[in-house]
Structure 1
């Protein structure tokens, strides 16, 4: 019960990696706030977890909208209490017939949408919860980057996704330095190909190519990303900050 009595906020927590992280925090004794754009899926998950005895609260919000995020934080504090752990997990990677859109054909609205969710969403919630963390001299933040933030993966993701995931690495390192004196650790995860619905938006051929290039010769599981996330926010990692940890089975080792 490494997270007993802690309050965790997980964005994009209704499915995929986010849902696995929520499950893991509940298993380790935390109360969890799920923030997701998908209201139906989020309510279903919150209901299922509550029926199993978890202390969980769902808020539907667009993480790219600062005012919506502020309202979500107020509601979470009223229902669960001040946030101890923030996991900036929400992210999108639009495809077109299973392919990423090249830059010379990309709709500017799509670029702004990806930047809004993947990067601005992390800023919005970090901006909103760190004041309380500073006052309490405690906090844990994990942001979901990607190996695409460190390497070219043009057959799988487009420029907007790679750009936002690279930016989250810089964001993480800056916040680690800025917030460290207040007892707040800030780290990032860089998953490889994880078996989620997002991965299935590209061709089977592309995913098989990744598997063949991965030393462990398989896709990762959402629970394996959740394991590392929960480690980084546990007492076991009290002296770990400013790090970007690959969870990629050895793919694209740097």
Structure 2
């Protein structure tokens, strides 16, 4: 399989050299959740390359230089997205440091697996696991949109990108029922928010990644991922950078007429 560096040469030419995404005289501020690794980290890195100020959240500790060696425009906050008091305080710190937030990427998510690498089904899932998955994957994104959208509305410009999953689009047997249902509901959240916020200058779109190399996919047996590769027309797993490239287009002016869309980043594994 090609490595991440190989894919970088296919980046969409979003900005001219030396150009940054500006709000008045300052770079726009983006918040990316679940950014300690995988898709979230790749998105944060790509946004940083585009000249944005990046706020990165994760429940695990991370260092600003993992996003970019130049850390002046990177703010790291260790945040559990289900701790709503902590979220409110963290948002206040962002605004005090850099001002209004313009871009939100709801990436933080969990997909509990058992020892065999599969999630709990309808007959096995425990109520506490169901509640926790739904709170992280669905309720937290909703609450963040609610808290951040006023910043965007005041600017008459905003971008919300929700990370769903191919599991929300088609039959899925590896992730558990809580994950599948929560990610399916994210599609509904995005549609509703796109309709409500679109007239106010804010677009809301969804990325639905397929099988992407990540800690979530690493826990399964190698033959499971091999089977996905065999079924995928491009004959490889996706990379976090593949998803980051899609996210980076959504935040540009060229994408201003895209609202309420779902972009399947899956190598052709699922074709609606």
Q: Same fold by TM-score, threshold 0.5 exceeded?
A: yes
Alignment partner, residue 234 of structure 1: 252
The answer to whether the 8 Å contact 1:90/1:117 transfers is yes
Closer, same or farther: CA 50–68 of 1 in aligned 2, 3 Å: same
Displacement of 1:53 in angstroms is 4.4
The whole-number CA distance in structure 1 between the counterparts of 2:201 and 2:250 is 14
The answer to whether the 8 Å contact 1:35/1:60 transfers is yes
Secondary structure of 1:246's counterpart equals strand
Alignment partner, residue 194 of structure 1: 212
Q: Provide Cα deviations, 1:119-160, integer angstroms capped at 9, x if missing partner.
A: 011012101101121122111000000110011111x10111
The whole-number CA distance in structure 2 between the counterparts of 1:35 and 1:99 is 27
Alignment partner, residue 139 of structure 1: 158
Alignment partner, residue 243 of structure 2: 225
Once the two structures are overlaid, the 10-residue window that deviates more, 47-56 or 76-85, is 47-56
The whole-number CA distance in structure 1 between the counterparts of 2:68 and 2:247 is 22
What is the aligned counterpart of 2:145 among 126, 149, 152?
126
What is the aligned counterpart of 1:99 among 90, 93, 118?
118
Structure 1: any 5+ residue segments left out of the alignment? none
The answer to whether the 8 Å contact 1:63/1:124 transfers is no
What is the aligned counterpart of 1:29 among 35, 48, 51?
51
Once the two structures are overlaid, the 10-residue window that deviates more, 3-12 or 161-170, is 3-12
Closer, same or farther: CA 54–23 of 1 in aligned 2, 3 Å: farther
Displacement of 1:245 in angstroms is 0.3
**Pair 1:111-2:130 in alignment:** yes
**Pair 1:75-2:93 in alignment:** yes
The whole-number CA distance in structure 2 between the counterparts of 1:112 and 1:176 is 26
Displacement of 1:49 in angstroms is 3.9
Q: Provide Cα deviations, 1:74-96, integer angstroms capped at 9, x if missing partner.
A: 11111222100000000010001
The whole-number CA distance in structure 2 between the counterparts of 1:205 and 1:49 is 32
Alignment partner, residue 7 of structure 2: none
Bigger share in helix: 1
> TM-score, with normalisation over the residues of structure 1?
0.94
CA RMSD of aligned residues (A): 1.3
Once the two structures are overlaid, the 10-residue window that deviates more, 66-75 or 216-225, is 66-75
The number of residue pairs the alignment matches comes to 249
Structure 2: any 5+ residue segments left out of the alignment? 1-18
